[in-house]
Amino acid sequence: MWTCMALLLLSVISASGELQQEDTEPRRLPPPGKLDFGYVPAGVYETLAHYEPGPIGILFHLVHAFLHAVQPNAFPHDLMVKLAKDKFGAIQTEYQKPENIVLTLQAIYYEIGFLVCAAVGLMFIVLVPIVGLFFCMCRCCDNCGGEMHQRQRKNADCRRGLLGTLLFSTSLVITIGVLCAYAANQNLSSQVKNIRRLVNSNMRDLHTFANDTPTQIDYLISQYATAKNKVIYDLDNIGPLLGGRIQQHLDKEVHPALDQVLNMAGAMRETKEALENVSVSLVVLQEGAGKLNFNLSQVRNRINRTLNDPGCHDEESDATTAQLCNNIRLSLSQLQISANFTRLPNVNPQMEKMNNLQKTNLGAIVYKGFSSLNDTPHVVIEQTRSVVNNVQNLMDGIGNNISSFSKGFPVQTCLSNFTIFISHAHAKIEDYYPEIDKMDFYRWIGCITLCCMVVLVLAFNYLGLLCGTLGYDKHASPTTRGCISNTGGTLLMAGVGFSLIFSWVLMGVVTVLFLAGGNMEKLICEPFQTKELFKVVDTPYLIQPEWRNFIPGYLYNDSHLELTAESLYSTCKQNRGIYSAMRLDKVFNISSFLNTTVFTKDVVGQLDNVKIDLRGIILLEAEGKQNLRDFSEAGLSEINYADYLEEVNKGVTAVDVLSFAKELESQTDLMPRGALQASLKAHVGTLQQIHRQQIVPMEQAMKYVRARTALNQSMRFLERTASDLPNKVIAVLDAIEAAQYLISQNATFLIHRETRKYTATIIGYFHQYIEWVKTSLALEVAPCKPFSNILDTAEIMTCGFLVDSMNTFWMGLGCSTLFLLPSIILAVKLAKYYRRMDTEDVYDDVPTYDTMNRFPRASAPPRHIDW
């Protein structure tokens, strides 16, 4: 059977490698990363290997405390190992040897508490019948309280009450003891009825173990589809996954270069707009400045002609007028425009070149380069199509190889044999149930009989106390006591007789049960709970001298394998898989079989053949490069930006015309009235009109303000743009060439590195599946909790049902038996106060009441007709 079990478990492991060949419905896949294989379907084991005794557990704890007081020594591990190795034979045949004497002394030392209690029990068994026999003979001779005479004492009532109270208390203790024994007896009988339920649940769990294991194996096999579908998903999306990563790394170098070209295209567009703004603004400003200059020139000429009037330089004119005319003539040179835009050359040659440049759509060329780069995933798809098809074909081939290997193990045969074995064992156990019930019935009858012995004594005690108490007459003398009181005393003596008859028998039973149950508790039950028992079983070379560990030595012929009874039990207790519990890797090493390198080497070989050529990607066509070179030769550096900025920053006129008019007017006012003064005042009015109609609009009108602003800003922008423009264009072209060289010539290392990462991702899905299979086999597939439950159930039935109930029974019965001794003594003494005496003490009345002269005298009781 062990061979079949090992083969079954081996089949469980090997079948886990079988791959599902049927096409499955595609399910929604998780994002790249950790795969979700779900949970292995787990059967529900119904056995609850835990025993709660209920209220009677208090008595069990009392028994355990008593046994600990009797036997406080630790579990004798070394002693048990030596005894087990010798198999008790050498000690029995060669007990004179010193080592055997030492073992015997160690055993006696460990059992000293039990031996002392057993000796007390034996003394009780031997002495009680002997003492009882002599006691009866003594009473027959009217001794030992057998004489029917009672001396009267002053404290007779007090003594009778005390004895009655003590006897009642003793009887209560005996009653409690017999009730404990009865409860333990009933508990054992009721728990025996649960044996069938526990056994049946364990057998059902074994069937569940056998039935669920194929389902769990099938689930492991079916989950290969998860890894397979994820691999196929990644292969179908090799463009975004592999090509996308390649593009992402290329973007770090290519994007900045293309962005520089885009920036240069924007600069070209802005340059054209700036030149147009310069041209338009220059026309507006030249027009305004020309008109103003013409008007100022006319006014200046007229004033000159007026100053040529004879009134300014004739001899008849006064000196003041001549001086004023001279001053006015000298100031006329200031009456002219300041910003002379008419002298600035136009920018038509540069505009013509920029218009020609704009005929080439550089932005579209750049975006075409971006599009070519973004087409990398599609390039990867086209160039890896054959490799992807080969890898997808390999997926089924891997499944066929593992499937053919796993089918070499007779899984179904072993499962069927295991199920038949369980059913056969269950049927044989069922055959024992009638015998168990019959034996339990006989046991129950025997225990009830023992309890009835004590109950009989208690009945006599309670009835004796009842009759003695109810029939007591304080006015009656010992010889005139009533019938009820006398009956009470007789019942007490009957209880004494039955106590002497039954007590030694009860103590004999108690002693035997004490030695058996106590040692079972200390040597089996407690060590099982503390796992000391497993340490004895797992002692190296204990069962076979050549086997270090018995279980692996028996199963795998390798006794040095770390597989012990304790580790097997603990692992199964945790409901882990039987593969890890029984160390089946010794028979079938799943790690070597499910080796990623072994069954994925063809996949790796195919993916290593991936060749990706990106030389077809053109970032910037020759037309775009020539457009950049033409831009650097557009003549922007030929513009005299200083002249333009100088004129823009000048005012409209060289002097404030309004101030000049006021000054002219003030000087004119100093002249004598006449034609000269009138002419000059007319010129003042003209200047004021020019200021109002031409100068103020040129300074404040939006048309001129915008023109000046646009000219200023455009010239500054053009100056910045023209600054080192050829070198900038060369730098952009160099960046494009470097990026193009990276794609065409130096991308091999990048492609190889990303291909290896992509291959590692694909193989990682297989690795995840394999690791999940290993973990599931160790923890979830074929969980061996039913096997530890069998051992726990045996412990519950042996210790929880049998030993604890048996120990509680002997403790209750032994307590009652021990208290029969004081019950006997108290009952004998108390019976004197209840029974009718044959003689009593009589006192003569002396008038002097001299108690020194009063002598008692025995007297027979009077005869009554109803006696």
What Cα–Cα distance (Å) separates residue 135 from each residue in 3, 117, 336, 461, 506?
69, 26, 164, 19, 20
For residue 314, what pLDDT is reported? 57
Dihedral of CA 15/20/26/32: which sign? positive
The β-bridge partners of 843 are 856
- Give the single-character DSSP code of 729: H
Helix runs in 609-724, H state only: 622-632, 641-649, 657-669, 675-690, 696-700, 702-722
Short-list 554, 543, 562, 521, CA closest to 81: 543
Lowest-confidence region among 398-412, 526-540, 613-627:
398-412
**pLDDT tens, residue by residue, 430-483:** 999 999 999 999 999 999 999 999 999 999 999 998 998 888 777 666 666 778
Residues 748-769, mean pLDDT to the nearest whole number: 85
Burial readout 139-157 (b: 16 or more C-beta within 10 A, e: otherwise): beeeeeeeeeebeeeeeee
| Backbone angles phi and psi of 37, in degrees to 5 | -95, 0
- Give the single-character DSSP code of 44: P
Q: Give dist(CA 731, CA 402) in Å, integer.
A: 60
> Quick check: pTM over 0.85?
no
For residue 780, what pLDDT is reported? 87
The β-bridge partners of 366 are none
Instruction: Name the amino acid, one letter, at 591.
Output: S
Residue with tokens 């194996």: 217
Strand bridging mode 839-843 / 856-859: antiparallel
Q: Is residue 143 helix, strand or coil?
A: coil
- Give the single-character DSSP code of 842: E
Q: Give dist(CA 96, CA 566) in Å, integer.
A: 36
The β-bridge partners of 579 are none
| Backbone angles phi and psi of 842, in degrees to 5 | -120, 140
For residue 635, what pLDDT is reported? 72
Q: Give dist(CA 189, CA 186) in Å, integer.
A: 5
Q: How far is CA 15 from the centre of its chain?
A: 30
Residues 759-780, mean pLDDT to the nearest whole number: 86
Question: Which pair of tokens denotes residue 299?
Answer: 């006014």
Q: Which residues contact 34 (CB under 8 A, 6 or more apart)?
A: 768
Q: How far is CA 36 from the centre of its chain?
A: 16
**pLDDT tens, residue by residue, 185-229:** 999 999 998 899 999 999 999 998 888 888 888 888 788 888 888
Residue with tokens 């173990």: 209
Question: Which pair of tokens denotes residue 524?
Answer: 């089996």
What is the length of the chain? 867
Residue 94 has pLDDT above 90, yes or no: no
For residue 98, what pLDDT is reported? 65
The winner for highest mean pLDDT among 347-356, 620-629, 689-698, 789-798 is 789-798
Q: Give dist(CA 603, CA 609) in Å, integer.
A: 10
Q: Give dist(CA 413, CA 628) in Å, integer.
A: 82
Give 453 or 753, the one with higher predicted confidence.
453
Residue 515 has pLDDT above 90, yes or no: yes
Q: Give dist(CA 631, CA 725) in Å, integer.
A: 9
Short-list 109, 107, 77, 78, CA closest to 92: 107
| Backbone angles phi and psi of 139, in degrees to 5 | -70, -35
Q: Give dist(CA 316, CA 610) in Å, integer.
A: 114
Residue with tokens 């080796």: 595
Strand bridging mode 839-843 / 149-150: parallel
Q: Give dist(CA 176, CA 184) in Å, integer.
A: 12
The β-bridge partners of 840 are 150, 859
The winner for highest mean pLDDT among 2-16, 181-195, 584-598 is 181-195
Q: In what order do the strands lie in the sheet with 856-859?
A: 149-150, 839-843, 856-859
Residue with tokens 């021990």: 818
Q: How far is CA 127 from the centre of its chain?
A: 68
List the domain boundaries for the chain: 255-360+620-745
**Cβ atoms 558, 547 nearer than 8 A:** no
Residue 8 has pLDDT above 50, yes or no: no
Give 746 or 389, the one with higher predicted confidence.
389
Question: Which pair of tokens denotes residue 196?
Answer: 């069938």
Q: Give dist(CA 422, CA 433) in Å, integer.
A: 17
**Cβ atoms 211, 782 nearer than 8 A:** no
Q: Which residues contact 211 (CB under 8 A, 6 or more apart)?
A: 43, 419
Give 69 or 682, the one with higher predicted confidence.
69
Identify the burial level of 862 via C-beta atoms within 10 angstroms of its C-beta, where 0-12 means exposed, 13-18 middle and 19 or more buried. Answer: exposed
Mean of all residue pLDDT scores within the chain: 78
Q: Is residue 33 helix, strand or coil?
A: coil
Lowest-confidence region among 174-178, 207-211, 261-265, 758-762:
261-265
**Cβ atoms 282, 688 nearer than 8 A:** no
Residue 149 has pLDDT above 60, yes or no: no
Identify the burial level of 562 via C-beta atoms within 10 angstroms of its C-beta, where 0-12 means exposed, 13-18 middle and 19 or more buried. Answer: exposed
Question: Which pair of tokens denotes residue 783?
Answer: 């969980």
Short-list 85, 168, 71, CA closest to 115: 71
**Cβ atoms 363, 277 nearer than 8 A:** no
**pLDDT tens, residue by residue, 304-341:** 777 676 667 654 556 677 777 777 777 766 666 656 66
